[in-house]
Chain A
């Protein structure tokens, strides 16, 4: 009898297959946007505002126009003639493409210069003279709503204050009743600092408008090429079929490359006006000060607790600092993303939350930096509140979590905000993590060390997060529902091309999506080419962010493979000369039920699809599938960190970090582990050093890599990874998504650990990042430390 294929050997599900995309990257043969050189291409640079808030009195571009090699100097007034001085945002606000009336944040785009080379373009920018009338500056949402605050968005008709949205969800009255019955009410206030996804490759585009064919091709750094095509059609009023977006290799995205940026729009407009290809490549400072920031949210929350540890209700308010334009990339229905996923993993009967957004003189964004729409803030607030509540009750933090976590037999579980948790083994994950770290031994060690003046601490973070937006009932962007597609073409020789609408930025789609096909069809993964990123050449998809590619496009890949298999079965029956009902499937092969040695491979079926199909059967072996997920996927994680704090300097070192992730079925375990390590590195970064702040004048502190600190291999601790597998009940292969869990749940584990080391001081909160001087201040003065802007400085 023929042997069934070994799935791991052919690179199917569970194979730690090396990433196929790495071959070209490690030999320097990747093709990033900046690598493309088109005939006749010109270069564009952007002039940015040095001031955070000022009226523009005049812009004199005459000197720049006179410079040899300069082809165009584009200002907001010129863009306005083409109705492009402003553009819509993903949150139904407007954003200035080039400032016409005021500048509203430091780094805002004022003009751009197109020249023969980038040096001349930059010289041209320096030659532009702008006269400003400075205005008072707002750098946090409380200044924004203070009496007498200048109205930042005086461009908006009817806007008389700096509030950009208000939102609430939950059961207000039920929550109030539950609070009335509480034995203890535990409160905490904190700030999740502004952060930047900071991909190594900055944003950029090459717009190539062909005046003869009227086709516009844009090579650009986008995580969501199909949405960009729709957006360009709307913004530039071009017919969508005459727009081709090509997203080539991307050097990291992390949410930064979801929005539409002024630079893209300007390069397109300049290409149309000059009928030449226009390349715009942002520099690092431009990227850090002007493109999609993340977080910058203030939390005031309280938990209603019973003495025995049961949480009765949660109530919180969030203030968001949205910058100068409300441009959060998030589903239409939700004004503060999925912040209401906070506390989802705990069985809390009543919950109510409110939120308010404010315009400030800071860059816009609100992008989901390695997370689903504000869930990073949600889980951080949750886990800081949980640890504080455990302390307020005098209860062990692990036990407090155990009491309140949703139990295995409670699934499906409806949260008070309406999310449906469909699966999980939360307590098991917690136990695996506690055992791995040696929880009780560490608590003893901590106590002993404290007697000798050493400060050890342990921090936990347990959380589930909604991934894979969405289902089309609730989730859309710009009115386009959030499902995804895959198209599979099996060639006569049994080799295949898979085309997907999502777009890798390092996640390894070219490797893992082939593995899904391999799992479904038994075609070796090496025989499957995955294509993505070119809108002329791939089916519609909403892009890659919010850990949604595997839950949506990955599911569509499995479903289209099954369609192919169903057709191959007909071909197999024809080849085997039996009826379809008598054909059985095993990986890579159909066989006759009564004669298992009599079979045909999937490759033989493929050849038959083109050369020997039965009468009446349509030739070919190609298909596509759209997957509209019935629910989000809900991975779970339990993270534990131990630290030692140096009381003299406030410096803290990570002793150990244990991560237990249940992301459902793991397609490529090696890539999953890489994703967890990457996410955990970013979690460590945010807890320890990485943030963007502003001084009182609105100057951005964090505008380059000397000020915006990304941890190196030297600082980054080691991570000990463990797994629990609870398959998703609705995803065709049971996967839940993993790209973001560690970045979402990780920060609280580090921060809780440092607070635990200070547990005898009465300090309730030190804002991230826990810089040594903040920890020292908290420890020395036994007081909370706020990190909210404006930055404290000596007047020079």
Chain B
């Protein structure tokens, strides 16, 4: 690979990283797993003057629950760790379903969840999961930290809400309002491909009553789409043929797909409907069993 010339910084602490960012402003680009950034600079689609490699900063490779029941995922926590996480498997079914569907094993070994969110690719899978779970992203700068809801974090294709002097240090999933269930379904042409369509479904229920429903879509709009109407159609309800169908219909309506090499807009909308049906029907059946 022959990228454009860049200056490389490898700070050993967050404080050092912030001063580097302060010095270079928006000329700097943060490198975590590099699985999106490196292809971009290889193709010279992106030519940052400075690359700030945060891999030497200790204390960012973790995922753990806080005392308030929220889950925090550090900026250097790799997809591979999440894929193998017993915690996710036991308590975060939507995340556990998504992790093994991220690209391919090589990308999962290096790439990070937080980096994927920052990249803000409309075909990124994690952003849908975070939208469905109502998560947020914690941005830190020399002045302190702030939480940016996942729904406000992406401001456009490949554009996030971070200031040039901020680093996304962790993602956070709030404590559950009930028992979690859900899944992530992804139609891809091949392992490692971006989603033709991805659907994240996250339910939090007491008994058969859904306290909170999260449904979000990948690959069918200029950014990941939170299906607010479909979510509201399920909140406070139980899953049955009628509510499942209604949610699927509303989710399909929320999609803004485009016709491209992965299929027609009509097809993609149909897949959203099919996947929401499948995801919810499976939860319904699991509950019945």
CA distance A105 to B261 in the complex (A): 20
Q: Which residue of A lies closest to B1 (CB)?
A: A283
| Across-interface contacts of A285 in B (CB, < 8 A) | 43
Q: Answer whether residue B258 sits at the interface, using C-beta atoms and an 8 A cutoff.
A: yes
CA distance A431 to B31 in the complex (A): 59
Given contacts A689-B190, A714-B191, A649 and B271 within 8 Å (CB-CB)? yes
B274 lies within 8 A of A773 (CB): no
Q: Which residue of A lies closest to B197 (CB)?
A: A649
| Across-interface contacts of B4 in A (CB, < 8 A) | 123, 126
| Across-interface contacts of A126 in B (CB, < 8 A) | 4, 44
Minimum C-beta distance from A286 to chain B (A): 12
B2 lies within 8 A of A709 (CB): no
CA distance A792 to B104 in the complex (A): 28
| Binary B-proximity of A642-658 (CB < 8 A = 1, otherwise 0) | 00000011110000000
| Binary A-proximity of B165-201 (CB < 8 A = 1, otherwise 0) | 0000000000000000000000101111110100000
| Binary B-proximity of A684-724 (CB < 8 A = 1, otherwise 0) | 00000100010000000100101101111011000000000
Minimum C-beta distance from A698 to chain B (A): 15
Q: Answer whether residue B260 sits at the interface, using C-beta atoms and an 8 A cutoff.
A: yes
CA distance A45 to B2 in the complex (A): 11
Q: Which residue of A lies closest to B39 (CB)?
A: A706
Contact partner, A712, options B187, B191, B263, Cβ 8 Å: B191
Given contacts A648-B274, A773-B263, A773-B267, A704 and B43 within 8 Å (CB-CB)? yes
Minimum C-beta distance from A171 to chain B (A): 42
Contact partner, A709, options B189, B260, B265, B270, Cβ 8 Å: B189
B263 lies within 8 A of A709 (CB): no
Given contacts A285-B43, A649-B271, A776-B270, A712 and B190 within 8 Å (CB-CB)? yes
A794 lies within 8 A of B260 (CB): yes
Q: Which residue of A lies closest to B258 (CB)?
A: A794
B261 lies within 8 A of A709 (CB): no
| Across-interface contacts of B191 in A (CB, < 8 A) | 712, 714-715
Q: Answer whether residue A777 sits at the interface, using C-beta atoms and an 8 A cutoff.
A: yes
Minimum C-beta distance from B244 to chain A (A): 15
Minimum C-beta distance from B35 to chain A (A): 12
B265 lies within 8 A of A118 (CB): no
| Across-interface contacts of A709 in B (CB, < 8 A) | 189-190, 193
| Across-interface contacts of A776 in B (CB, < 8 A) | 263, 267, 270
Q: Answer whether residue B159 sits at the interface, using C-beta atoms and an 8 A cutoff.
A: no
B258 lies within 8 A of A649 (CB): no
| Binary A-proximity of B34-54 (CB < 8 A = 1, otherwise 0) | 000001000110000000000
Q: Answer whether residue B5 sits at the interface, using C-beta atoms and an 8 A cutoff.
A: yes
| Across-interface contacts of A704 in B (CB, < 8 A) | 43
Interface centre among B3, B43, B193, B261, by most chain A C-beta atoms within 10 angstroms, is B261
Q: Answer whether residue B262 sits at the interface, using C-beta atoms and an 8 A cutoff.
A: yes
CA distance A45 to B196 in the complex (A): 35
Minimum C-beta distance from A77 to chain B (A): 26
| Across-interface contacts of A777 in B (CB, < 8 A) | 264, 267
| Across-interface contacts of B190 in A (CB, < 8 A) | 689, 709-712, 714-715
Q: Answer whether residue B259 sits at the interface, using C-beta atoms and an 8 A cutoff.
A: yes
| Binary A-proximity of B244-281 (CB < 8 A = 1, otherwise 0) | 00000000000000111111110100110010000000
| Across-interface contacts of B261 in A (CB, < 8 A) | 693, 701, 707, 791, 793
Minimum C-beta distance from B263 to chain A (A): 3
A771 lies within 8 A of B263 (CB): yes
| Across-interface contacts of B5 in A (CB, < 8 A) | 119, 123
Q: Answer whether residue A251 sits at the interface, using C-beta atoms and an 8 A cutoff.
A: no
Minimum C-beta distance from B195 to chain A (A): 12
Given contacts A651-B187, A712-B190, A119 and B2 within 8 Å (CB-CB)? yes
Q: Which residue of B lies closest to A776 (CB)?
A: B267
CA distance A119 to B3 in the complex (A): 7
| Binary A-proximity of B200-227 (CB < 8 A = 1, otherwise 0) | 0000000000000000000000000000
A773 lies within 8 A of B262 (CB): yes
A793 lies within 8 A of B260 (CB): yes
| Across-interface contacts of A791 in B (CB, < 8 A) | 260-261
B2 lies within 8 A of A118 (CB): yes
CA distance A577 to B195 in the complex (A): 79
CA distance A648 to B191 in the complex (A): 20
Not counting A649-B187, A712-B104, A773-B264, a sample of 8 additional A-B residue pairs whose C-beta atoms are within 8 angstroms of each other reads A119-B3, A649-B274, A706-B192, A707-B261, A771-B262, A771-B263, A772-B196, A777-B264
Enumerate 28 A-B pairs (CB-CB under 8 Å) in ascending A order: A119-B2, A119-B3, A119-B5, A123-B5, A283-B2, A649-B274, A650-B267, A689-B189, A689-B190, A693-B261, A704-B43, A706-B39, A709-B189, A711-B190, A714-B190, A715-B191, A771-B262, A771-B263, A772-B187, A773-B263, A773-B267, A776-B267, A776-B270, A792-B264, A793-B258, A793-B259, A794-B259, A794-B265
List of 6 A-B pairs having minimum Cβ-Cβ separation, nearest first: A773-B263, A794-B258, A773-B267, A714-B191, A122-B2, A709-B190
